[in-house]
Structure 1
Amino acid sequence: MPAITTAAAPEAPPSPAPGGRRRAAGPLLLLPALVALTLFFVLPLLSILLDSFTDPEPGLGNYASLFTDGYTLRVLGRTLLVALVVTVAGVTLAYPYAYMMTLAGQTARAVMITVVLVPFWTSMLARNFAWMVLMQDGGVVQGLLGLVGLGEVTLLGTTTAVAISMTQVLLPFMVLPMFSVMQQIDRRLLLAGQSLGASRLATFRKVYFPLSLPGVAAGASLVFVLALGFYVTPALLGSPQSSLIAQVISVRTRELLDFGGAGAMGVFMLVVTLAVLAASRRLTGPGAAAGAAHAIAGRNDR
């Protein structure tokens, strides 16, 4: 009886692994964001960069004027100084507040967080107009200054008024990064330092403060960068004699049609911003905690 042979059915091709499909779909999911980023950020930035080198004539004239024109230098210096003052004032006010948030109970902490978030729920124009009312001649602030013999001091229309208002507006951007880092610090480290004979102040200075520096750096860099580009507050509370760079850029583009000069100023501030963010990343990166630990160990060795 002849043997009956059956042909083996062809094997089905292996189905792609689910992980492979997800990896293949990843770039497609990013495509809308990349298109939007290119249209609304990259292309305008390239246009500004091109104008800064070609308008009104090709060359580096617009950039050379940044460091040779006395008025532009004063505006750049004033902007950097105001941003630095606002950052230092913000750190001084925000650090103890964020530290107290880590010590407070749940109810008190919720209230303190709400106080920090309230400015986000209020229009910036409303806050600036409120400062205008407070700092106008004969206003509340001038009345309080009169109690210490400074009633004749005029604040509205000065750089001081701009710095005060900017500090209040940007304070939440300083408190929240600090609190985010501080609440992750193990407080048993402080108890361990005190058990070894260190005072509370020494333990705070050698243990807690170095570990909180990443939060300080993150908040300070964020506030400094935001302060560099502030426009509404200086326009309302300042004066033409105390203009900041955002106001000068606005005047050059809208009234003088100096797109090349305005573009050069914008590119310069972008470089400053990137430098600040790079410096902040070194303090807030993965090695920040390790660096703080090494610093603590080095102090203890001595």
Structure 2
Amino acid sequence: MSMQSARFEDLGGPHGTLNADALRADARRESFGLLALLSPGLLLVFTVIIVPIGWLFWLSLYDETGALSAANYARFFEQASYIRTFITTFKVAFFVTGACVLLGYPLAYMLSQLPRRAASICLIFVILPFWTSVLVRTYAWLVILQRKGLANSWLIDLGVISQPLPLANNFAGVIIGMTHIMLPFLVLPLYASMKTIDTDCLRAGMNLGASPAATFRQIFFPLSLPGLASGVVIVFVLCLGFFVTPALMGGGKVIMWAMRMEQTTSLYSNWGAGAALGVVLLAVTLALLGLFQWLLGARATGVWSSR
């Protein structure tokens, strides 16, 4: 008897009537097997992510006296400084993400149109900043952007300006420094997405009479949106937790949420309040990511229904 016929008889006999109980048992065995394969990864995720987040949430429920209370969350709504810091954090994240999109999309598009060898060489310069510490790069931008730095000195020597521009120790300096650090995180996934676009689709559009601009707008850009969305999410989430660059480039005038958490725990030794700040930031970030995913899903559904 062959293996297929033996397996068939196990599921219901030789007369073609499958046994529903045997099918369900086989499905359960397969599910248990998959669960056994996934259990090491699930255990790692639970230990590294779920347990610390749960501990953070539990710690946020205790006030300075060690009593169980919601005072740490009430402080967020009672003190205006927390609201300003929270708004500043998301404002910086939105501006940096927008600047990275404006600079990164043309760069990724140019790289995707280059020959493979030339694109590989150019990608080295994209990832080159990763070989240097964030602290070193931030201090380099301070040297360039300060009142007597290279940028203001060159502009004054060229006669473009008569007084130094305030490019550092303010909001603009934070945006410039963070954009330089975050730009590769958008270019790399976007470039990978653009390289997977089938050029035959572009040729077909042009053969049907579409102009190069129309081909890019109607074919290339929609197909590159998954990579753009991935890069935007990565940059936005990383910006929310940034500490070094805003602390140095902001000159104490731009207070981010991570800086406020550090002050709360190190200066005031209030771990409950610091944990509450982390929980609030995590909850709002997850809500925004869920909204972003829903908007992308709604847009994709609308595009396919219109077709």
Instruction: Name the TM tier (shorter chain).
Output: 0.7 to 0.9
Question: Does 1:156 find its partner at 2:168?
Answer: yes
Following superposition, the deviation at residue 38 of structure 1 comes to 4.0
Question: Does 1:74 find its partner at 2:95?
Answer: no
The answer to whether the 8 Å contact 1:178/1:212 transfers is yes
User: Which range moved further: 151-160 or 226-235?
Assistant: 151-160
Question: Does 1:138 find its partner at 2:148?
Answer: yes
Listed one character per residue, the Cα deviations across residues 242-280 of structure 1 (whole Å, up to 9, x for unaligned) are 111111100000111222222121111111222343345
The SS at the match of 2:101 is: helix
User: Hey, what does 1:41 align to over in structure 2?
Assistant: 49
The answer to whether the 8 Å contact 1:214/1:283 transfers is no
User: Which range moved further: 129-138 or 247-256?
Assistant: 129-138
Residue type at the aligned position of 2:205: G
Inter-CA distance 112–212: structure 2 relative to 1 (3 Å threshold):
same
User: Hey, what does 2:58 align to over in structure 1?
Assistant: 50
User: Hey, what does 1:87 align to over in structure 2?
Assistant: 97
Following superposition, the deviation at residue 100 of structure 1 comes to 0.8
- Residue ranges of structure 1 left out of the alignment (5+ in a row): 1-19, 298-302
Distance across 1 between alignment mates of 2:155 and 2:293: 41
Inter-CA distance 207–283: structure 2 relative to 1 (3 Å threshold):
farther
Residue type at the aligned position of 1:55: D
Equivalent position to 2:111, from 101, 105, 110: 101
Inter-CA distance 188–112: structure 2 relative to 1 (3 Å threshold):
same
Inter-CA distance 128–270: structure 2 relative to 1 (3 Å threshold):
same
Inter-CA distance 27–156: structure 2 relative to 1 (3 Å threshold):
same
Distance across 2 between alignment mates of 1:235 and 1:150: 29
Equivalent position to 1:116, from 116, 126, 132: 126
User: Hey, what does 2:36 align to over in structure 1?
Assistant: 27
Following superposition, the deviation at residue 80 of structure 1 comes to 0.4
User: Hey, what does 1:198 align to over in structure 2?
Assistant: 210
Following superposition, the deviation at residue 36 of structure 1 comes to 4.8
The SS at the match of 1:67 is: helix
Listed one character per residue, the Cα deviations across residues 160-213 of structure 1 (whole Å, up to 9, x for unaligned) are 111111100011100011111111111222222222222211121111111111
Following superposition, the deviation at residue 215 of structure 1 comes to 1.0
User: Which range moved further: 70-79 or 36-45?
Assistant: 36-45
| 1:228-267 matches, cutoff 5 A | 228-267=240-279
The answer to whether the 8 Å contact 2:62/2:68 transfers is yes
Distance across 2 between alignment mates of 1:159 and 1:192: 46
Residue type at the aligned position of 1:51: L
User: Hey, what does 1:5 align to over in structure 2?
Assistant: none
| 1:206-225 matches, cutoff 5 A | 206-225=218-237
Distance across 2 between alignment mates of 1:293 and 1:190: 19
Distance across 2 between alignment mates of 1:171 and 1:131: 15
Distance across 2 between alignment mates of 1:34 and 1:212: 32
Following superposition, the deviation at residue 130 of structure 1 comes to 1.0
User: Which range moved further: 257-266 or 139-148?
Assistant: 139-148
Distance across 1 between alignment mates of 2:265 and 2:275: 9
**Number of residues of Structure 1 aligned to a counterpart in Structure 2:** 276
Residue type at the aligned position of 1:66: F
Distance across 2 between alignment mates of 1:203 and 1:28: 45
The answer to whether the 8 Å contact 1:210/1:292 transfers is no
Following superposition, the deviation at residue 150 of structure 1 comes to 6.1
The answer to whether the 8 Å contact 1:174/1:220 transfers is yes
Question: Does 1:187 find its partner at 2:199?
Answer: yes
User: Hey, what does 1:7 align to over in structure 2?
Assistant: none
Equivalent position to 1:174, from 178, 186, 202: 186
Residue type at the aligned position of 1:49: F
TM-score (norm 2): 0.80
User: Hey, what does 1:15 align to over in structure 2?
Assistant: none
Distance across 2 between alignment mates of 1:294 and 1:36: 41
Following superposition, the deviation at residue 30 of structure 1 comes to 4.3
User: Hey, what does 2:72 align to over in structure 1?
Assistant: 62
The SS at the match of 1:54 is: coil
The answer to whether the 8 Å contact 1:214/1:284 transfers is no
